[in-house]
Copies of this chain bind each other. A is one copy, B any other.
Amino acid sequence: MQDKLTLMIPGPTPVPETVLKAIGRHPIGHRSGDFQEIVRRTTDQLQWLHQTSGDVLVITGSGTAAMEAGMINTLSRGDRVLCGDNGKFGERWVKVARAYGLDVEVIKAEWGQPLDTEAFRSALEADTAKQIRAVILTHSETSTGVINDLQTICGHVKAHGTALTIADCVTSLGATDVPMDAWGIDVVASGSQKGYMLPPGLSFVAMSDRAWEAYDRSDLPKFYLDLGPYRKTAAKNSNPFTPAVNLYFGLEAALEMMQSEGLEAIFTRHSRHRAAAQAGMKAIGMPLFAAEGHGSPAITAVAPQGIDAELLRKTVKERFDILLAGGQDHLKGKVFRIGHLGFVCDRDVLTAVSAIEATLQSLGLHQGKMGSGVAAAAEALN
């Protein structure tokens, strides 16, 4: 039905009306005092969201641009790095690192499994010569719905003493606790179309003091993604290149909404939605793809046995105007994913479970008692 689509994918996520209205305003000059005031306010808000007193810089680009910026501004050609890979985004960072000639040691886990924190610990402990310059990993692996134990890995990196932690927090920031300063994360990359409740187009790189020290040594070529000029202009509430002014309007509005709700409340909400989605799916005999206890608060991946996940997904969209995400790469047709990231309320999760149940029933594929999924999800939301 026209204009009725509900997004339950891990990005773009739904955007509040207040934010859309802000985005639909006439643009203003990006070098004007009025715009500088917006940059000033959003910088404060971004520091709040990242729980950091360091720099949080805004790049017009996708989350990949932010992640690449984090890597190429802190590393040099030939630098040895440890890279976690347990899904499509882990794979991507390995590719970025190799594209720039880094010496990459990959710590792999099966898709659906979390990264083994002990593997990081032993690799870091074995590096007595302190050659590892960075540990690079994805916090919430969007492709598999797995959340990695970033806090524990950060602890191992701290014990190493010289390596940096570079984290893709694209689908974890604004969904779960990512206290950058407390955990000692050096680079946090994120994107607007996720927990931020914004359309895509802005990405964010937060940098610790140690990351800036590494910046001074970095020799990788860059210009648009060179964070030095971003830092310099941010100090004057400005940007090195013309930023996506209208998305900035939305950023301010969205972060205001997030501040009103409060970090704790936001994290609790995401955690409850994860519990509800998981309970609903389990109750109707739909196995979760992520290993038990490692599901992401942003996205629940489901691996229905003997059911074409794409058929289910398409039918849910056609009949109920809910867009679920499909499986990526080799998981296509085997997995579907329920996004519960950003501007999502209890009703949305309950509705998604209901629609999945109703669709299974209409396809003659419901493997339990109709309504048992909704009952379990509702119970989890109590």
Bin chain A's interface residue count: 35 or more
B224 touches A61 (CB 8 A): yes
Which residues of A in the span 212-258 have a Cβ within 8 Å of any Cβ on B? 220-226, 241-247
Q: Which of B7, B32, B101, B246 contacts A199 (CB 8 A)?
A: B246
A20 touches B24 (CB 8 A): yes
The 3 A-B pairs of least Cβ separation, nearest first, read A24-B24, A201-B244, A62-B241
| Copies of this chain | 2
Using a CB–CB distance below 8 Å, which chain A residues touch chain B? 3, 5, 7, 9, 11-12, 14-15, 20-21, 23-30, 32, 60-65, 68, 95-96, 99-101, 191, 193, 199-201, 220-226, 241-247, 323, 325
B200 touches A242 (CB 8 A): yes
Q: Which of B5, B247, B325 contacts A201 (CB 8 A)?
A: B247
Q: Which of B96, B199, B224 contacts A65 (CB 8 A)?
A: B224
Inter-chain contacts of A242 with B (CB < 8 A): 11-12, 62-63, 191, 193, 200
Minimum distance in angstroms from A212 CB to a CB of chain B = 19
The complex places the Cα of A323 from the Cα of B222 at a distance, in Å, of 33
Inter-chain contacts of A222 with B (CB < 8 A): 99
The complex places the Cα of A316 from the Cα of B157 at a distance, in Å, of 56
Minimum distance in angstroms from A251 CB to a CB of chain B = 12
Q: List 27 A-B contacts (CB under 8 A).
A: A7-B26, A7-B27, A7-B29, A9-B29, A11-B242, A12-B28, A12-B30, A23-B23, A24-B24, A29-B323, A30-B200, A60-B200, A63-B241, A64-B223, A65-B241, A68-B223, A99-B221, A100-B221, A101-B221, A193-B245, A200-B242, A200-B244, A200-B246, A201-B244, A201-B246, A221-B221, A224-B225
Inter-chain contacts of A21 with B (CB < 8 A): 24
